[in-house]
Amino acid sequence: MKLTQFYLPLIGLAFISIASPSSAAGWDYKIHSGAQCQPAFGSQAADFFGAVSRVNTNTASRTLVCPIVRDSGTPAAIDAAVTVSSYNGQSLSCLFYSYDANGNYVASVSRTTTANAPTRLYFALGATQTRQDGSYFIDCSLPQYGRVINYISGEYFTNDAYRTDYGN
């Protein structure tokens, strides 16, 4: 048996799969360092420390805003999580927000922890809780020495003509 007889069908299948239209659907996730989160108020910028994560060094509670990058302009289910740690059992809370293209509130989910060890807080919104060209972000209220370590978000898509990464 010649090797070409064995490989020829495999090569044919490869060309067919490349040329056929994709019906890809699935979750597209992005992971961000907590350092991408910014103070909700510019006057509080000096209250945060960290090149990889953000730590509140002030004795008062401070708020960080963590932006979510979208790949889809159409309404889509989205889930997110933020890894945080509190200090000395103090309450640390985060909210995940959805806004429409005009900046109007659509929906939110809230989570709270008092854990001193890194803890992941999970959020999820269905497609009915998102809007065409809307935006998302996570907002965390940190006690002294509370920190945001990282955060992740994922959108569910199905052959979306409005995707901005074009499948890359």
Binned at pLDDT 50, 70 and 90, residue 159 comes out as low
pLDDT value of residue 160: 52
Over 90: is that where the pLDDT of 38 sits? yes
Mean per-residue pLDDT over the chain, rounded:
83
Over 80: is that where the pLDDT of 162 sits? no
Mean pLDDT of 49-60: 94
Which of 40-54, 64-78, 149-163 is least confident? Answer: 149-163
Mean pLDDT of 87-111: 95
Over 90: is that where the pLDDT of 99 sits? yes
Which domains does the chain show, CATH number per domain?
24-157 (2.60.120.260)
pLDDT tens, residue by residue, 132-144: 888 899 999 999 9
CA distances from 32 to 37, 68, 81, 125 (A): 9, 9, 11, 19
Name the pTM for this structure. Answer: 0.78
Binned at pLDDT 50, 70 and 90, residue 167 comes out as very low
